Structure 1
Amino acid sequence: MNDFDFLTGTWDVVNRARADFLDPDSPWEEFPGITRGSRHFDGQANLDEIEFPTKGFTGLTLRLYDPEREEWSLYWSSTRTGRLFPPVVGRWTDGVGEFHGDDEYQGTPIRARYRWSGVTADAAHWEQAFSTDDGATWVTNWTMAFSRR
C-alpha cells in the first residue's frame, strides 16, 4: 500500500504530449512541470499537484489504495476543467504500476491507461495512452520524466 511513497517531495518533470491524443502520427510537444507530492493515511493515499508554468494551468492527482481489493484508484483534475475525471484503477507488479479506466476524449469514448515505471529514489517515468477499440491498440499520448529536485 506504500507504492506511491516515492512521489513525496518536489520533482522537476519533462512532459511530452501529442497535439492530438488520438492520432499516433500527431507531433510531440515538450514542456516543463513541477510536482509536489504528499503521503497520507499511512501510505494508503497520495496526492500531488503539478504546475505547468508554460501552459498556464495546474493539475492534481489523488491516489487511494483499497486494501480489500489490493488496488489503487487514481483520480485526475485540473484547473482547465475544474472537474474530477473518472478513475483509472490497477496495481503494481514487478516494479510497474498499470491502471485502466473508461473515459472520453473530445466526445470519443476511450479506454485510458496510466503506466508508472523506472522508479528510483531520484527518477520515475509515467505515460498515458488511450484506446478507442477497448484496448486492442493504444496511442501513447503523454509521457513524464520525473527527476527529484
Structure 2
Amino acid sequence: MNAIAIVKDGRHDFDFFYGQWAVQHRLLKRRGVHCEDWLEFFGTAQCRGLMGGLCNVEENDMPARRSQGVAFRSFDIARRTWSIHWVSSTDGLVGEPVHGRFEGGEGRFYGVDLDDGRPVKVAFHWSHSHDRAARWSQAFSYDEGRTWEVNWVMEFTRVGS
C-alpha cells in the first residue's frame, strides 16, 4: 500500500480551517475617520478544501447584517503564496485579491482595494492557536502603508468535532 506524501510547501496552511464555525464579528462603524465605535454581531462559517489543498472555499452567513460572503483561496505552487478573493452578497462582485503566506503560524496577506471609491492598501491577518479557534482581521491603510486601521475582526470557534 502506497502512502500519500503530504507536500509541505504551504498548500496545506488552511487545512486547520476546514469545517463548521461560529463567528463573533467586530466591524468598525466608520472606516478611515479615526472612529472607535464597533458593531458586534454573530454569524456562521464553513470551509472546505478543493484539489488536495490547492484551493478552498469559505462561506459566511451574517444574518444580523442580512448578508453573506464567500472567500475563495488558491495556492500558487511556484511562488508558494496564497491569493484570497472575497465576494459579498451586497454587490456580487469578486474583489481584488490579497496575496501572502503563513510564516511562524501566522498568515499575512496584502493587496489594494477601494473603500467608498477611495484607494486603500488592505491587509489580512490569520492566526490560530489550535484547531478549535481561529482569528482573522482586516486593516486598511489610507497612506500607502505607513499606518494601518483594523476595521474588521472575526473570532472563529469550531462547531462540533
TM-score by length of 1: 0.97
Is this contact kept in 2: 1:90–1:97, CA < 8 A?
Answer: yes
Q: Aligned with 2:82: secondary structure?
A: strand
Deviation at 1:24, TM superposition (A): 3.0
Bigger Cα displacement from structure 2, 23-32 vs 39-48: 23-32
How far residue 131 of structure 1 moved from its aligned partner, in angstroms, is 0.2
Tell me which of 14, 36, 43 is aligned to 1:4.
14
Residue number in structure 1 paired with 2:100: 90
Cα offset for 1:95? 0.5
Quick one: which amino acid aligns to residue 114 of structure 1?
F
Q: For 1:99, which of 92, 109, 112 is the aligned residue?
A: 109
Structure 1 residue aligned with 2:139? 129
What letter corresponds to residue 64 of structure 1 in structure 2? S
- Structure-2 residue corresponding to 1:116: 126
Aligned 8 A contact 2:122 2:138 in 1: yes
Q: Is the 8 A contact 2:17 2:131 kept in 1?
A: no
Take 2:92 and 2:38, find their aligned partners in 1: how far apart are those partners?
25
Structure 1 residue 10, shift from structure 2 partner: 0.5
CA contact (8 A) 1:24 1:140 kept: no
Say whether the 8 Å CA contact 1:50–1:60 is kept in structure 2.
yes
Q: C-alpha separation between the residues in 1 aligned to 2:143 and 2:103?
A: 25
Determine whether 1:33 maps to 2:43.
yes
Deviations 1:48-67 (A, max 9, x none): 10000111110000000001
Name the structure 1 match of 2:4.
Answer: none
Residue identity matched to 1:70: R
Residue 45 of structure 1 corresponds to which residue in structure 2? Answer: 55
Q: Pairwise CA RMSD of aligned residues? A: 0.9
Q: Gaps (5+ residues) in structure 1?
A: none
Distance 1:119 1:67 in 2: 26
**TM-score, normalised to structure 2's length?**
0.90
- Structure 1 residue runs of 4 or more that deviate by more than 2 Å after TM superposition: 23-26
SS of the residue aligned with 2:64? coil
Check the 8 A contact 1:23/1:139 in 2, yes or no.
no
Q: How many residues align structurally?
A: 149
2:88 corresponds to 1:78: yes
Contact 2:80/2:101 (CA < 8 Å) preserved in 1? yes
Structure with bigger gyration radius = 2
Alignment of 1:9-28 (within 5 A): 9-28=19-38
Gaps of 5+ in 2: 1-10
